[in-house]
Amino acid sequence: METIWQMTHNAGNSINKEWEKKVEDKVYFLADKFSLYQGDFNSKKFFLFDISDGSIYRLNEVAYDMLELFDGEKKLSDIYDILMAVYEVETLKLKEDLNFMVQNWVSNNILIEK
Protein backbone atom coordinates (compact mmCIF):
# COMPACT_ATOMS: atom_id res chain seq x y z
CA MET A 1 0.00 0.00 0.00
CA GLU A 2 1.44 3.34 -1.02
CA THR A 3 0.90 6.33 1.21
CA ILE A 4 0.03 9.76 -0.15
CA TRP A 5 3.13 11.06 1.58
CA GLN A 6 5.26 8.57 -0.30
CA MET A 7 3.59 9.55 -3.53
CA THR A 8 4.48 13.18 -2.96
CA HIS A 9 8.18 12.44 -2.59
CA ASN A 10 8.33 11.55 -6.24
CA ALA A 11 7.33 15.02 -7.23
CA GLY A 12 10.49 16.64 -5.88
CA ASN A 13 10.80 19.35 -3.25
CA SER A 14 10.88 22.64 -5.10
CA ILE A 15 7.78 24.73 -5.40
CA ASN A 16 7.23 26.75 -8.46
CA LYS A 17 6.35 30.23 -7.15
CA GLU A 18 4.58 31.30 -10.31
CA TRP A 19 2.50 28.18 -10.21
CA GLU A 20 1.69 28.96 -6.58
CA LYS A 21 0.31 32.38 -7.44
CA LYS A 22 -1.76 31.06 -10.27
CA VAL A 23 -3.29 28.25 -8.32
CA GLU A 24 -4.44 30.26 -5.30
CA ASP A 25 -7.66 31.10 -7.11
CA LYS A 26 -8.16 27.66 -8.46
CA VAL A 27 -10.91 25.36 -7.30
CA TYR A 28 -10.44 21.60 -7.17
CA PHE A 29 -12.57 18.60 -6.39
CA LEU A 30 -11.86 14.98 -5.68
CA ALA A 31 -12.03 12.89 -8.83
CA ASP A 32 -15.16 10.75 -9.07
CA LYS A 33 -13.18 7.57 -8.98
CA PHE A 34 -11.84 8.36 -5.52
CA SER A 35 -13.60 8.11 -2.21
CA LEU A 36 -12.32 9.35 1.15
CA TYR A 37 -13.01 7.39 4.26
CA GLN A 38 -12.49 8.24 7.88
CA GLY A 39 -12.84 5.52 10.50
CA ASP A 40 -14.87 6.07 13.62
CA PHE A 41 -13.70 8.65 16.15
CA ASN A 42 -11.22 6.51 18.06
CA SER A 43 -9.74 4.49 15.25
CA LYS A 44 -7.78 7.31 13.56
CA LYS A 45 -7.89 5.45 10.29
CA PHE A 46 -7.96 7.45 7.09
CA PHE A 47 -8.11 6.04 3.60
CA LEU A 48 -8.40 7.12 0.01
CA PHE A 49 -10.10 4.49 -2.12
CA ASP A 50 -9.80 4.24 -5.87
CA ILE A 51 -13.15 2.70 -6.76
CA SER A 52 -12.15 2.09 -10.36
CA ASP A 53 -9.28 -0.29 -9.70
CA GLY A 54 -9.72 -1.08 -6.01
CA SER A 55 -6.48 0.52 -4.80
CA ILE A 56 -6.40 1.58 -1.18
CA TYR A 57 -4.15 4.41 0.00
CA ARG A 58 -3.64 4.92 3.68
CA LEU A 59 -3.65 8.60 4.58
CA ASN A 60 -2.45 10.40 7.64
CA GLU A 61 -4.91 12.67 9.36
CA VAL A 62 -3.47 15.87 7.88
CA ALA A 63 -3.66 14.60 4.31
CA TYR A 64 -7.23 13.46 4.95
CA ASP A 65 -8.20 16.86 6.37
CA MET A 66 -6.67 18.58 3.37
CA LEU A 67 -8.27 16.36 0.75
CA GLU A 68 -11.65 16.66 2.38
CA LEU A 69 -11.58 20.41 1.85
CA PHE A 70 -11.44 20.11 -1.92
CA ASP A 71 -15.18 20.22 -2.48
CA GLY A 72 -15.38 21.97 -5.83
CA GLU A 73 -16.44 25.21 -4.11
CA LYS A 74 -13.52 26.49 -2.10
CA LYS A 75 -10.59 28.24 -3.70
CA LEU A 76 -7.13 27.10 -2.72
CA SER A 77 -6.71 30.38 -0.85
CA ASP A 78 -9.83 29.55 1.21
CA ILE A 79 -8.30 26.22 2.03
CA TYR A 80 -5.07 27.89 3.19
CA ASP A 81 -7.15 30.02 5.55
CA ILE A 82 -9.05 27.06 6.96
CA LEU A 83 -5.92 25.07 7.55
CA MET A 84 -4.15 28.07 9.11
CA ALA A 85 -6.95 28.26 11.66
CA VAL A 86 -6.58 24.59 12.53
CA TYR A 87 -2.84 23.94 12.47
CA GLU A 88 -0.14 25.90 14.25
CA VAL A 89 2.20 26.41 11.35
CA GLU A 90 3.81 29.32 9.53
CA THR A 91 1.78 30.57 6.58
CA LEU A 92 4.65 30.18 4.18
CA LYS A 93 5.40 26.67 5.30
CA LEU A 94 1.77 25.63 5.07
CA LYS A 95 1.39 27.09 1.59
CA GLU A 96 4.55 25.39 0.49
CA ASP A 97 3.41 22.01 1.82
CA LEU A 98 -0.12 22.30 0.49
CA ASN A 99 1.00 23.47 -2.95
CA PHE A 100 3.43 20.63 -3.10
CA MET A 101 0.70 18.15 -2.30
CA VAL A 102 -1.85 19.70 -4.63
CA GLN A 103 0.64 19.50 -7.50
CA ASN A 104 1.11 15.87 -6.75
CA TRP A 105 -2.58 15.08 -6.33
CA VAL A 106 -3.38 16.85 -9.59
CA SER A 107 -0.65 15.00 -11.45
CA ASN A 108 -2.00 11.72 -10.06
CA ASN A 109 -5.54 12.65 -11.15
CA ILE A 110 -6.76 12.56 -7.57
CA LEU A 111 -7.80 16.21 -7.67
CA ILE A 112 -9.49 17.69 -10.71
CA GLU A 113 -9.56 21.40 -11.45
CA LYS A 114 -13.07 22.79 -11.72
107 binds another protein (CB under 8 A): no
Backbone angles phi, psi at 65, to 5 degrees: -60, -40
35 binds another protein (CB under 8 A): yes
Nearer to another protein (CB atom), residue 38 or residue 108: 38
CA pair distance 103, 95, nearest whole angstrom: 12
50 binds another protein (CB under 8 A): yes
Nearer to another protein (CB atom), residue 51 or residue 82: 51
Among 1, 54, 85, 90, binds another protein (CB under 8 A): 54
The CB density around residue 18, as the number of other CB atoms within 10 Å, is 8
3-state secondary structure of 55: coil
Among 1, 21, 53, 92, binds another protein (CB under 8 A): 53
CA pair distance 8, 4, nearest whole angstrom: 6
Among 13, 18, 40, 88, binds another protein (CB under 8 A): 40
3: Cβ–Cβ under 8 A, 6 or more apart, which residues?
57, 58, 59, 60
88 binds another protein (CB under 8 A): no
Query: Which residue ranges make up the site for another protein (CB under 8 A)?
Result: 35, 37, 40, 49-56
